Amino acid sequence: MAMLNSYDIVKMTEEVLLTTLKENVIDNIVDRMVNEFKEKSYEEVKAEVEKLVISGVETIRDLAELRDEVKVYCEWNE
């Protein structure tokens, strides 16, 4: 009889269902929290991105100072 318990289809199904259910609940909660964070932070992040300024080379002196600098170009697309 002990051998039948180790092959109990109901118990095995329950374990698999619980594992799947737990994973899905975790994924759903994380997805919801990420979406809430995105909604709350969107305007704040956009405001910071809009503060970025890219200035071009205005004089020969500016050009000489560009030796090892890296320029970052940003564009906000909605």
- The per-residue pLDDT for range 19-61, each reduced to its tens digit, is 999 999 999 999 999 999 998 898 888 888 887 766 666 666 6
Residue 28 lies in a domain: yes
Residue 71 lies in a domain: no
Domain of residue 25: give its range: 2-50
Distance CA 18, CA 6 (A): 18
Residue 40 lies in a domain: yes
Residue 25 lies in a domain: yes
* Residue owning tokens 């994924």: 27
Residue 63 lies in a domain: no
For residues 17 and 43, the answer to whether their CB atoms sit within 8 Å is no
Residue 62 lies in a domain: no
For 1-78, where are the alpha helices, taking DSSP H only? Answer: 2-6, 9-50, 60-64
- The per-residue pLDDT for range 28-38, each reduced to its tens digit, is 999 999 999 99
Residue 70 lies in a domain: no
Residue 18 lies in a domain: yes
Residue 59 is given by DSSP the state: S
